[in-house]
Amino acid sequence: MSSILVPAGPLPAAVYWRRRGIAIAAIVALVWTISAFFPQGENPATTATPEATDSAPAVTACDPAVVTLVAIADKNSYAASEKPQFSMTITNSGAVDCILEVGTDKQRYVVTSGDEVIWDSSVCQEGAEALSLTFAAGETKQPANLAWSRLRSSSCGADAPAAVGGGASYHLSVFLGDVKSAETVQFMLF
């Protein structure tokens, strides 16, 4: 048998067992002392930034089915010298928070008269910017107003023909990516 299990030597076996017990107790005390001064996992680099927990669900992109848009014109009618100001409200009508692309690269304003498109903000657009925002469940946000120069978007530049005034009626629809406002807003140009 091994000398570890059966002590051998000139002294009685009990002496050897006591020595082994003292050695084991000393090792346990040393490990306990080291762990007290250097807690396991305690590292300034990791404790400064808490880890994400699985209890909070990740915020994902909004389902287009829960995005509601409402077109806004700042007035019902505009004098010949006034430029219409358009905007929209964007609502997350879903039950969970989500992220939505709401930059000017996704926004689109369309003015129609009957079936004819008079102006489409995306046709001559310059400097469009991307923007992602988190919408809480049920939250509504409104981007900044967009001024319409009253020029048609059939051609870009100052030489584009003007929309007809004199009491002509127009409708505004708004889009955010593939989502469209359910209703249009009617306004008149004089």
Query: How do beta strands 116-120 and 146-147 pair?
Result: unpaired
Whole-angstrom Cα distance, residue 120 to residue 151? 10
Q: Is residue 96's pLDDT more than 50?
A: yes
119 by Cβ neighbours in 10 Å (0-12 / 13-18 / 19+) ranks as buried
Cβ 131 vs Cβ 165: under 8 Å: no
Q: According to the model, what pLDDT value does residue 46 have?
A: 47
Does the structure show a pLDDT above 70 at 187?
A: yes
Per-residue pLDDT, averaged over 24-33, amounts to 78
User: What would the pLDDT profile of 6-16 be if each residue is shown by its tens digit?
Assistant: 666 777 777 77
Q: What is the spatial distance between Cα 57 and Cα 106, in angstroms, rounded to a whole number? A: 26
Residue 1 has pLDDT above 60, yes or no: no
**What tens digit of pLDDT does each residue of 62-85 get?**
999 999 999 999 999 999 999 999
Bridge partners, 173 (sequence order): 110
Has this prediction a pTM greater than 0.75? no
Residue 95 clears pLDDT 50, i.e. is over it: yes
